[in-house]
Amino acid sequence: MVSSSNRPGRRPGPSATREAILAAARAAFTAHGYDGATIRAVAAAAGVDPALVLHYFGSKRGLFAEAAALPFDPATAIPAIIAGDPATAAERLLRFFLAAWDSGQSRDGLLALLRAAVNDEQAAAMFRARFAGELLGRVAAQLPGPGVEVRVGLVGSTLAGLVFARYIVRLEPLASLPAEGVVAMVAPTIQRYLTGPLELPGAPGEGGSHAPGD
Amino acid sequence: MVSSSNRPGRRPGPSATREAILAAARAAFTAHGYDGATIRAVAAAAGVDPALVLHYFGSKRGLFAEAAALPFDPATAIPAIIAGDPATAAERLLRFFLAAWDSGQSRDGLLALLRAAVNDEQAAAMFRARFAGELLGRVAAQLPGPGVEVRVGLVGSTLAGLVFARYIVRLEPLASLPAEGVVAMVAPTIQRYLTGPLELPGAPGEGGSHAPGD
DNA sequence: CGTTGAATTCTACGCCTGTTGAGTTCGTCC
DNA sequence: GGACGAACTCAACAGGCGTAGAATTCAACG
């Protein structure tokens, strides 16, 4: 490769090393998950010594916490989506969501977060707080009526399923479809979950009480 | 702890050790993922020595392959679901799917498989072949017309999203909802993906079937 | 009763991991 | 032009991992 100066000590010129490490970490976490990504591999990809990674981020968890930050600000993005004709809010939401995932840079961070959520119970809680709380919670705040939580839960479930099929398992032909094609087919589903008629639970009739947990 | 006979050699009486190891492995893979689950932990949970696990299953991958087998036979289950009124096939499919996941025993194996698919590219390919090929492929074989692959892809995406929200992240209130409640709300979506009108990609006339977007 | 093989344990090797502490080079401020 | 701290590397520790091989105990069969 390049002439990797093995010499110790500070390198001349301004240093973009911290950012390089973060980029390498995002890629590594995305490609191999939290456990699979090693500090040594991240350091090698960034062209630095493993100890320098720890020097900057303290620990592997600290590195992950910075690498997996949300690439946009929910506080401003969500209201912008909700504002406007409620009948087409689903299209805007889906379009925004797919754009975030189709952009390579933000996809890496998101995928790392998702992978960690699937693996680690602790990360799942973090995911719940961040994704559910900051994103879906804001959507729920703009919706009227009872059963709002179920509605946004279904929306989140739909989005998660899309991510899984399209970006993780890469199920064809869904994975290669242009975003607009997905919007055309899935937006009606989300729109129904948001504002359409829904047989909400707790309605009279069936009284089956049953918990899926152990 | 109990009087764990640390003595080597065969134990008296008939041995159900192999099954005990498999059960422990399913639980461990489910709880911690492929990498997080260690042979030593599985062995400890089953009350045996780590080397015995290797003696039975050859390697960690071999253990996983047996622990994460599909708990039902797709060749018989899928046609049974498809048969009957096509207008209510979605309900039957969804009900069968949720039953498999709500049953603790099969859920463990399925979750392990899913976790591995998210983590490991190699396992994702295996998942694609198994889930997409054996399950969705059979569904697609019973559907008419063009764009069948997209339709079953959307169905798979919907199911995956439900699993993610309900069993992995445990997003409330979706996670605690009885299965019938989920069926009532989500079956229409799946039914539309299966047999309903869909703006299939590649279809002519992109313009103006809905309100102006951007 | 002796032999054979399966069930089971112990010990250990080699590898990789996250992390640490000491040491070296450079930019910057007085 | 020193002093100081930030950037950076090196070498090493302690621990966990998957796996291998020899040793021990039991069951089954002649």
pLDDT of A93-117, one tens digit each? 899 989 888 886 677 777 877 877 7
* pLDDT exceeds 80 at position B181: yes
**Spacing of C-alpha B210 from chain mean position:** 36
pLDDT tens digits, residue range B100-116?
888 866 777 778 778 77
Q: What is the pLDDT of residue A208?
A: 38
Say which DSSP state B133 is in: I
Say which DSSP state B40 is in: H
A9 touches strand C (CB under 7 A): yes
pLDDT tens digits, residue range A150-160?
888 999 899 99
**CA–CA separation, A124 vs A99, rounded Å?**
24
* pLDDT exceeds 90 at position A58: yes
8 A C-beta contact, residue A127 and residue B164: no
Tokens of B28: 């461990």
Judged by a CB distance cut-off of 8 A, whether residue A118 touches chain B is yes
B8 touches strand D (CB under 7 A): yes
Q: Do A118 and B168 touch (CB under 8 A)?
A: yes
In percent, the amount of chain B with pLDDT more than 70 equals: 83
By Cβ distance, the residue of B115, B171, B199 closest to A118 is B115
- Using 50, 70 and 90 to split pLDDT, how confident is the model at B3? very low
- Using 50, 70 and 90 to split pLDDT, how confident is the model at A184? very high
Say which DSSP state B128 is in: I
Judged by a CB distance cut-off of 8 A, whether residue A115 touches chain B is yes
**CA–CA separation, B62 vs B18, rounded Å?**
13
- Using 50, 70 and 90 to split pLDDT, how confident is the model at B208? very low
Q: What is the pLDDT of residue B205?
A: 39
Give SS3 for B38.
coil
Q: What is the pLDDT of residue A94?
A: 92
* pLDDT exceeds 90 at position B54: yes
**CA–CA separation, A201 vs A212, rounded Å?**
16
Q: What is the pLDDT of residue A162?
A: 93
B68 or B176, greater pLDDT: B176
**CA–CA separation, B111 vs B129, rounded Å?**
17
Within 8 A of A211 by CB-CB distance, chain B residues are 176
Q: What is the pLDDT of residue A202?
A: 59
- Using 50, 70 and 90 to split pLDDT, how confident is the model at B5? low
Q: What is the mean pLDDT of residues B36-53?
A: 96
Judged by a CB distance cut-off of 8 A, whether residue A140 touches chain B is no
Q: What is the pLDDT of residue A129?
A: 74
Closest nucleotide (CA of A7 to C1')? Answer: D9
**CA–CA separation, A102 vs A109, rounded Å?**
12
Residues 6 or more apart from B196 whose CB is under 8 A from it?
Answer: none
A120 or A180, greater pLDDT: A180
B70 or B61, greater pLDDT: B61
Q: What is the mean pLDDT of residues A188-204?
A: 80
Judged by a CB distance cut-off of 8 A, whether residue B168 touches chain A is yes
The segment with the largest mean pLDDT, out of A34-38, B73-77, B105-109, B128-132, is A34-38
Q: What is the mean pLDDT of residues B68-97?
A: 81
Give SS3 for A167.
helix
* pLDDT exceeds 90 at position A57: yes
* pLDDT exceeds 70 at position B195: yes
8 A C-beta contact, residue A189 and residue A165: no
The segment with the largest mean pLDDT, out of A51-60, A70-79, A111-120, is A51-60
- Using 50, 70 and 90 to split pLDDT, how confident is the model at B95? very high
Q: ∠ CA A6-A9-A15 to the nearest 5 degrees?
A: 95
B4 or B17, greater pLDDT: B17
Rg of chain A's alpha carbons, rounded to an integer?
A: 21
**CA–CA separation, B30 vs B110, rounded Å?**
8
B19 or B32, greater pLDDT: B19
Residues 6 or more apart from A8 whose CB is under 8 A from it?
Answer: none
Query: What is the reported pTM?
Result: 0.75
By Cβ distance, the residue of A31, A35, A150 closest to B174 is A150
Q: What is the pLDDT of residue B48?
A: 96
Q: Do B161 and A166 touch (CB under 8 A)?
A: no
